Structure 1
Amino acid sequence: MKTIFSVIIFSVLLSCSMFQEENEYQLIYEFENLDETSQKEKVIEVLSKRLSNYGLNFKFDSSKSKDILLTIKADTIYKDRIDNLITNRGKLEFWECYKSKDVLESLLRYDNSLNQGALQELVAFPNVPYDPTIFYCSSENLGVVLENLNKEAFKSFFDNEFKYLKFLKGQPNDIEVVGFYAVKSNEEDKALVTGSDITKAFQTYNYIDKPTISIEMSEEGGKKWEHMTNEAYINNTQIAITVNDIVYSAPGVSAGPITGGKSEISGNYTLEEAQDLAAVLSAGDIIPKLKLVKFLERKNE
C-alpha cells in the first residue's frame, strides 16, 4: 500500500507543478568522448524511455552533428534532477567479492614488505567480522590510495594469489569516507550479470521502509544470477552491486542460490533517487558519458 500511495503522490506532483505546459526549457548536451557521437540515435532512444516515466512533454533534436538538444514544455522543472536522469550512464553490474580477510592479509604483507607501509598510513580497516569492505579512506586521500593500488609491483604481487583481483570504490558516507571492495574479475574484465540481463526495475521499500529498487531478470539472466548466488553461498562471500562503477551494496547469500531472477538494490537513497534509478535501469542499455553545456529558459508571459 505504501508503494502505491507514494507513486500516486509522485504522479500528482509531476502533473500539477513540475510539468505543466507553460514555459519552454532547453538542455543541450555533448558527448564527453566525441568519438561516440555516432551512437546519438541509440542514446536518444534510451533517454526517451527514461523520461517517458514522468509524464513529460519533451522532444529531442539531433540535427546538430555533436549536440543533443532536449526541449521540455512545462510550468517549471527541477533542472538538476532532469540532468541526473540524462547523464546517468545506467551501468549496472554484479561482482562476486573475495573474502575480505584473505585479501587483507595479503594486502598487509605487500604493504609491509614492498611498500614501506605507505598504504596503511592512508587507510583504516574494518573491525566487523565478515565485512566485505577491505579498507576505508577519506575522499581527500582517495587519489593517493588509487596510485598505490595501480602500482605495477602491487598488481604483480596480487596476481600470484588472487587471479583477476579488482578493487571497486563504494559511495562516500556522510563524513566523506569511501570503502573499497575486492571482487573477482576475469580476463575480459566483464561482470557475469549486468544491466542487459534486467527486464524490469521499479522503486519499492525494504523491510525497514527505506526506498530500494527491485529488479527482475530475463531467463538467461536469472540462470546466471542463480549460479552467481550459489557460488557466493558456497564460498560464504558477498556480491557487490555497482552502478556506474560505484558499489551501492554488497549483500551476502545466506539461504542458498536465488532462483527466479529477482533481486533488490539497496543504498542510502532518497525516494526520488530510487525512483530515478529505477527509470534509468528500466530503459536498458548503457549510454556514453554526456555533459550539459547549455541551459535555456523561455518563459511565456
Structure 2
Amino acid sequence: MLTVKAAADETGLTVKGIRFYEKIGLIRPAERSPAGYRLYSEEDVARLHQIHFYREQKFSLEDIDAMLNDPDVDLRSYLKRQLFDVEDQIRELERVRDTLDRVLRENDCRGAIGDKVRDAEHRSRYAIVSTDMQNEFLDGGSMSCRRICNIIEPLKAMLERARAMGIPVIYVRDSHHCNDPELEIWPDHCLEGTWGAQIIDQLAPAQGDYVLKKNYFNAFIGTKLQATLKKLGTEAIIFTGWRTHVCVAQTAIEAFQRGYRILVAEDCVDSTTQVEHEFGLNLLQVNYCAEVLPWQTILDLIAQNTAPGEMSGQQERSEAT
C-alpha cells in the first residue's frame, strides 16, 4: 500500500491532482493508515496510471469517467473519436499558421487582413461537402465500381473553380479500424493507413481545404462537420461524392434537419448503379427540398450572388427561355 505522495511519485501525477481525482470520483482508495492517511493499492495505482495516460491524450474528465466507470463503454469508439479530434486540431492549427504566414508576407498586413475578412464574408454562405472519394472504390479496391470514374473529372473541375471563388471545400472520407461494426456488414474497406483510405490522387485536397474522417454513413455523426460549417458561417451546402443514395443522402438529410439548404451537384455524385443514383436524387428532391443542378450552374449562380433558394427557380426560367 502506498501513501498519496508515493502514489504520485509512482504515477507521475501530483498530490493535488490525485486528491482532485478522488473528489470527482475517478479514484476511490478504500483503506487508510492508522494515522488516517489514505492508502493506495496496486489496483488504485494502476487506475491512476490509466487516468494519467488519458489526460496526456487530452481526453476530457467526463470521457475518462465513462471509460473507467462504465463497464459497457465502447473504448475503441472513444479512442478513435479522440484521434479524429486531435487530427482536426492539428489541421486547424496548420491552417492558422499558413494564414498568418501569408499575411506576414504582405507589405500591408492591415490591408491583407481586410481582404481576407471580405473574402470570408462573401464565401461563408456556401460550402462544398465531398464524400468518400477514395481509392477503395477504384479498380484494385475492395469495393471497386467503375461508375465512380464518371464523376472524378467533373468534381476536379468544380473544386478548382470553387477554390478560386473562395468557397470552402470539406472532404469527408470513410475511415475504419479493424473490428469496426460496419466491417461486419461490408468487406474490409477504407482501413486507416491504407491506400484504400486515401483520397483519389486527382482530387487531392488543396491547401486550405478541410479533411474530416467518418465512421458512419451520416457524416455529421462523430465528426467535426457541424462545428466546421458553423465556424464558416455556412447556410447552404453543395453535396458531391460517392453513393448518392447512401452517404451523400444520409448526410444531406441530416443537413436539412439541421436547417441548411441543400444543393446537389448532379454531375458530381453517383452510385453503384443508375437506379440507386436516381433513387438518391429523387429522395432528396421530393422529401428534403434539395436543389439538384449541374455543378457549373450552381457556381454560376453563386458568382451572380444568387440566394440558394432562388437557384431552382432561375434554372427553370432559364430552361423555359
Q: Give the number of the structure whose alpha-carbon radius of gyration is greater.
A: 2
Which gives a bigger RCO, structure 1 or 2 (Cα 8 Å, sep 6+)? Answer: 1
* TM-score range for the pair, normalised by the shorter chain length: under 0.3
Of Structure 1 and Structure 2, which has the larger fraction of its residues in strand? 1
Kindly indicate which of the two structures has a greater share of residues assigned to helix. 2
